[in-house]
Amino acid sequence: DDPKRNLARRAKNGFWFMCISFNITYALGCYLQYGYHGGYDRYHNVVEPEDLIDLTDYYYWYPLIVYILYGFSDSVVQTFSYWIMGAIAGEDTGLAARYTGLYKGVQSVGAVISWTIDLPQLRVPYSAQFWICWILFIISLPTTYLITRKVGKKGVEIVDAANYSSSSSSDEDGSTPTKLG
């Protein structure tokens, strides 16, 4: 967090960072899926044992970097999601807990669907799984942006920890704690 910027600005910056970094990562993944060394799919273009990538191969690094970026993008989305829930809930820990519970419940349903789609019996190609993930992310962006615009509005505020005294609810001059956003 950057206390020099208000809460609404931080929310919008976080949204755009998440959006851009995720889409760049998936664009790199798209090249890996379709163009890098002829592309790869689970049931088409299956590689021979001598075509498998080894750590000592020069072409090992691009897939490794993309794989690391997938993890980074997942972390960015998770962190942004929790930050938004906390910013909207404000000081209401019960509301934050309900938001988190709903979020984890939806995430668990998504994991069940993901594992089901990956079952060998269904024969869903990796390319289809790739597009499902990317399209779901893109579909979620408009509603995420609308929620992001609500941050910093009525009922959403953060108390500045530097000006908050744990021994009393007011500063030395008798005023209430400084509020940001």
CA-CA distances (angstroms) from residue 81 to 25, 58, 96, 127, 147? 18, 37, 12, 26, 11
* 104 lies in some domain: yes
58 lies in a domain?
yes
> For the chain, where are the E strands, in sequence order?
158-159, 179-180
User: How large is the average pLDDT for residues 40-59?
Assistant: 71
Expressed as residue numbers, the domain containing 138 is: 7-155
pTM: 0.75
Contact 160, 178 (CB under 8 A): yes
Q: Which residues on adjacent β-strands are paired with residue 45?
A: none
84, 151, 102, 140 alpha-carbon torsion, rounded to 10°: -80
Closest-CA residue to 140 (of 179, 86, 89, 103): 103
What angle, rounded to 10 degrees, do the helices at 93-117 and 126-150 form? 160
Which are the contacts of 181, defined by CB distance < 8 A and separation ≥ 6?
6, 7, 8, 151, 152, 156, 157, 158
Q: Is the dihedral of CA 173, 175, 176, 179 positive or negative?
A: negative
Answer whether residue 37 is part of any domain: yes
Whether 168 is covered by a domain: the verdict is no
User: How many structural domains compose the chain?
Assistant: 1
- Give me the residue label for tokens 């984890």: 104
Examine residue 171 and state whether it is found in any structural domain, yes or no.
Answer: no
Over residues 69-127, the pLDDT tens digits come to 999 999 999 999 999 999 999 889 999 999 999 999 999 999 999 999 999 899 888 88
Domain contains 165: no
* Residues facing 179 on adjacent strands: 159
pLDDT tens column, 127-179: 889 999 999 999 999 999 999 998 887 544 444 444 444 444 444 444 444 44
Is residue 69 a part of any domain in this protein? yes
Residue 63 belongs to some domain of the structure: yes
How far is Cα 127 from Cα 135, in angstroms, rounded to an integer?
Answer: 12
